[in-house]
Amino acid sequence: MNQDKFKHDSSHYERPTQKYRCGRAAVWGKPCEFGPHVSGKCGGTTECRPEKIGDRWQCRRTAIAGGPCDLGPSFDGTCNHSRPPCHPRRSLRSLRGIIAIAAFSVVIATIALMLSLGDGGKARDSIIEAGPLTGGHENFTGTEGCASCHTSHDEDAGDWFLSAFHEQEMTEKCLDCHTFGGDARRTHNSIFASKAITTECTMCHTEHKGENANIQMMSDSQCNHCHETQIDSFSKNHPKFSDNYPHDRRTSIKFDHVSHLTTHFTDQRYSEKAPADCIGCHAVDTADRAVRPGTFEKSCMQCHNQAIQERELVVMRLPEFEENLIDNDAVLSTCGPTIENWEVISENLSDIVEAVEAGDEVELPEYEEEEYESVSLEEASPINSFLLEVLIDDMDSYSEPIQELVLRLAEEGTAPLEDLIGERFNNQGSGRLLSGLSSELVKRIACAWAANLEYEAPAENTAGGWYGDALELRYAPLQHGDPVAKNWINFALHTKNGHLDDTEDYQSVVEEMQQIILDPKEGVGACTKCHAISNTEDGGWQAEWAYQPSNLRPYTYYSHGAHITMLNPEGVNLMDPNNGCRTCHKINEKSAYKDAFEQHDPNIFDSNFFPIDQTTCAQCHGEGQVKQDCQLCHNYHLSPGFDLRTVENEETMD
């Protein structure tokens, strides 16, 4: 409808690309023909620029504006159609562009301002609110603030800005206080062969999740993130436990559960003393990873004490001699007169008294040496043969050393034995093998033997300990754990460890000595009936005196306590084969438990109990039942702790 005003010869193109529009139009007047100049100035105050043709000025208005006007220019060449200039305004689009750039600039300027405001960026960083820290961290970061962990906080603008382009060293800050059993930057703080990557604390632990957030808690899928074998849940596809789980070595004490439970405890003789159930021996109150059995005194002594005191060690035995090599005078002067001597004296008492009163020499009737007849027809004890390095059955070799030893024992007491032992047991101290042995006793025994007599004890030895009996010096253990017996066994084991350079002949002595000490059927070797002898790392043997708890599994945690509490509400019998302990620990009546102890590698064993496998646990730890997340049983860190020296109390610093 307005069309006809805009014919081709009377209107211009509309130019929305121009930045300015006529100022008159901006105040709702009529825009002029020409529009503003593109630079924003007025487009022209006159309608044409007159041209002088010949001597007349002519109008040169453009055709679209109407062509040359009728009025024509004035005589001096100025156009007669002029108008006051306008003040062009920016078009809406041009304004939009300016405002957009202004907005962007304002933002950049504000950012630049914030970047550098406050000395050392305090203003810039102060308006950052990252969210509350967990309570523990909050307490100590109060003074230093964000910079306790974020090293670039409060830094200069340049440093702060550049820190965006490289990784933060936050792990260092964590390690100021937190310690681990291994390298903090290794997976599981340890070196695992495959795919050991460098870990940073913040890979798993994120802060600023609230005051009561648990930043230690990890979900199963977080664990699965690194592990190649993906585990959907414990009950579904957790890898099988190790073959003999939870037993990874044989027990240190040879306690055969099977024989005890099936035979001994049911034996009428012992049934009164036998424990009624597992907890009769195992201390459930303090149950954690292990449910320790009670001490010997508590659990075993009821039945096993008697036997101990009966297992005596023969340290010395007077062997058979062919001739008497001991100087009788020495004996006489050391030991005093013998009974025979006293008989002679008493027969000649009056003469002797007379002589003594007169001050004359006393002449004793000649002791007529009868033909020497050895009082002993025994063999020497392997122990003293070992100590003297003589052969047991070679009378020629052992006669003199033993008789000499006897004389010396009579003269010096225990010292010779101590010396002999000391030579063999270099670092261990001989005193421990002979504690309780008094020199008085030794002398008395030695004197008797030196006089080719049997030693007669004043009374029968019922109290245990060292005593002499006829031709033997014996030791009777007092009780379980007797230190002397224990040390003789250690002594024997020590020699087993190859600390001797032996001749072949002598080797049999050594073996006999070892055997007599260690034989479980005789003597103090009875200790080894229960205490296992196992290989050591350097190829030797040692006796397992103490109860050995299970191997340290640093990454798994199992607490009997929690389970027992759940499994044994009042009234459930722990001996019930389907409940209690036997829910998991099932007796393997066919186990070859004892056989394992015939060799000395503790890792070769057959447990009394069937191994516990994953399905047992999964009975309860399964879908829709008890929790079964990774962290329930597994730890990631190796013995995490705190570095206490960084905990300081400033208030007491002065």
- Scan residues 100-159 and list those touching another protein (CB under 8 A): 100-104, 106-108, 111, 127-131, 150, 152-153
Q: Is 228 in the site for another protein (CB under 8 A)?
A: no
Query: Between the CA of residue 452 and those of 325, 327, 349, 367, 443, what are the distances in Å?
Result: 11, 12, 25, 15, 14
Query: Between the CA of residue 208 and those of 145, 392, 450, what are the distances in Å?
Result: 13, 81, 88
CB of 578 to another protein, least distance (A): 37
CA distance 134 to 4: 78
Closest to another protein by CB, 184 or 387: 184
Closest to another protein by CB, 21 or 480: 21
Locate tokens 């069937």: which residue? 610
Return the closest-CA partner of residue 333 out of 454, 450, 456: 450
CA distance 227 to 229: 5
CA angle 538, 539, 541 (to 5 degrees): 105
Closest to another protein by CB, 31 or 622: 31
- Lay out the site mask for another protein across 404-433 (x = CB under 8 A, - = otherwise): ------------------------------
CB of 601 to another protein, least distance (A): 42
CB of 136 to another protein, least distance (A): 20
Q: Show the beta-strand stretches assigned E in 274-390.
A: 313-317
Among 164, 339, 647, 653, binds another protein (CB under 8 A): 164
Give residues 8-67 in contact with another protein (rule: CB under 8 A): 8-9, 11-19, 21-22, 24-26, 28-31, 37-38, 49, 51, 53, 58, 60, 62-64
CA distance 73 to 52: 10
Closest to another protein by CB, 113 or 604: 113
Give the helix/strand (H/E) hosting 617: helix 614-618
CB of 275 to another protein, least distance (A): 48
CB of 57 to another protein, least distance (A): 11
Local structure of residue 300 (DSSP, 8 states): I
Query: Between the CA of residue 405 and those of 101, 326, 332, 418, what are the distances in Å?
Result: 112, 10, 16, 12
Give residues 503-542 in contact with another protein (rule: CB under 8 A): none
Give residues 586-645 in contact with another protein (rule: CB under 8 A): none
Number of residues that bind another protein (CB under 8 A): 78
Among 71, 77, 82, 99, binds another protein (CB under 8 A): 99
Give residues 166-195 in contact with another protein (rule: CB under 8 A): 167-168, 170
Closest to another protein by CB, 105 or 579: 105
Give residues 309-368 in contact with another protein (rule: CB under 8 A): none
CB of 149 to another protein, least distance (A): 9
CB of 646 to another protein, least distance (A): 23
Q: What single string gives the DSSP state of each residue in 18-33?
A: -SEE-HHHHTTSPPPS
Closest to another protein by CB, 87 or 150: 150
CA distance 534 to 249: 11
| Interface region with another protein, contact rule CB under 8 A, candidates 196-204, 303-311, 355-363, 541-549 | 196-204
The number of helix segments (H) and strand segments (E) in the chain equals 23, 11
CB of 622 to another protein, least distance (A): 20
Cα 69 from chain centroid (whole Å): 107
Give the number of residues written for the chain: 654
Among 147, 196, 204, 355, binds another protein (CB under 8 A): 204
Which residue intervals of 467-546 are DSSP H helices?
483-496, 504-518, 527-530
Closest to another protein by CB, 95 or 356: 95
| Interface region with another protein, contact rule CB under 8 A, candidates 216-224, 268-276, 363-371, 586-594 | 216-224
Cis amide leading into 382 (omega within 30): no
CB of 641 to another protein, least distance (A): 24
CA distance 49 to 47: 7
| Interface region with another protein, contact rule CB under 8 A, candidates 164-172, 315-323, 371-379, 639-647 | 164-172
Give residues 68-97 in contact with another protein (rule: CB under 8 A): 91-93, 95-96
Closest to another protein by CB, 51 or 267: 51
Closest to another protein by CB, 169 or 343: 169
Beta bridge pairs of residue 90: 20
Q: Which residues in 240-258 are b (16+ Cβ under 10 Å) and which e?
A: ebeebebbebbbbbbbbbb
